[in-house]
Amino acid sequence: MKVEVITDALTIVGEGPVWDDRRNKLYMTDILGKRFRTVDLKTGSVEDRVMPQQIGFIFLGEKGEIYCGAQKGIYEITDGNFEPFCVPEILKGNRFNEGKVGPDGRVYGGTISYDFSSAFYRLDGNGTLTELFDKVGNSNGLDWDLDKGLLYYTDTHTYKTDCFDFDGKGNIFNRRTVFEYKEGSPDGMCIDENGNLWTALWGVGKVICFDPSTSKVLEEIALPATQPSCCAFAGENLDTLVITSAAHGRIIREENLSGALFAVKPGVKGKKVNRFVRN
């Protein structure tokens, strides 16, 4: 597949691309740069805002709000402020790393640690944060196949993508493995219209697509950056796969697109992001 560079405005650790279909904008975060970035896919123009905390992921509200999972909790990003929505006294792990809104309008996301002391949580519309399971290393890619009633989930430190049965009422159960990675560190992930999963492989410069029902790899995208971090479907037709990457730890004069934002046309479409229903 032909890889295009949307913008070479580099990020230290680019992550969490989210397509806002109402505003026709792409949002993403630079975690270590503490930046919230807005990208125009047609022009490649970039707007950055510096945040008071590291942001792991971004999600959208049903009324057009923009929220994020950060170091200390969940916040709303407004034009001039960084408003706390859910800041628990105890949050396992170092910070929120990855999260998305489920088909039920709740947020599901987890934290990161280096000793499996993190956890995976559910955020309800009233601001209640519930731990769903612990002993998490690096909570990463997730997405849903609503037709099959499944939540797919990757913990980078296990080198596996698992799935759970998902009841649509905030409960997940019956965890089992659907794919084991043989190279790289599995990072961000998304699902396409056919129910196949696309995963960024940090450290080996690839994004792969696999069928979770057979564990068969269907596609492989080679990138001019060693550390792809996340992928998501974007654009007015949701037929563009955007891929974030990281410059952290790389020698930029040798790999000058580390931290850039890429795009490919994979021949399939994604799905609109779910929006958070706040009570």
For the stretch 27-51, pLDDT in tens is 999 999 999 999 999 999 999 999 9
User: Which residue stretches of the chain are H helix?
Assistant: none
Interatomic CA distance for residues 50 and 62, integer angstroms = 25
Rounded CA Rg of the chain = 17
Band of the pLDDT at 207, cuts 50, 70, 90?
A: very high
Cα angle for residues 233, 236, 239 (degrees, 5° grid): 40
Interatomic CA distance for residues 217 and 117, integer angstroms = 31
Contact yes or no for 107/139 (Cβ under 8 A): no
Average pLDDT over residues 2-6: 97
Interatomic CA distance for residues 104 and 169, integer angstroms = 7
Contact yes or no for 157/184 (Cβ under 8 A): no
Catalytic residues: 187
Band of the pLDDT at 128, cuts 50, 70, 90?
A: very high
Spatial neighbors of 188 by CB under 8 A, at least 6 apart, are 15, 16, 17, 98, 140, 141, 199, 200, 229, 230, 231, 232, 244
Band of the pLDDT at 59, cuts 50, 70, 90?
A: very high
pLDDT exceeds 90 at position 23: yes
State the chain's mean pLDDT as an integer: 97
Closest CA to 192 of 244, 232, 142: 232
CA contacts within 13 A on the Cβ side of 145: 20
End-to-end Cα separation, the chain, in angstroms: 43
Band of the pLDDT at 137, cuts 50, 70, 90?
A: very high
pLDDT exceeds 90 at position 1: no
Coil vs helix vs strand at 148:
coil
Closest CA to 225 of 249, 264, 255, 198: 255
Q: Give residue 80's pLDDT.
A: 78
Q: What are 17's two structure tokens? A: 């691309």
DSSP state of 273: P
For the stretch 223-254, pLDDT in tens is 999 999 999 999 999 999 999 999 999 999 99
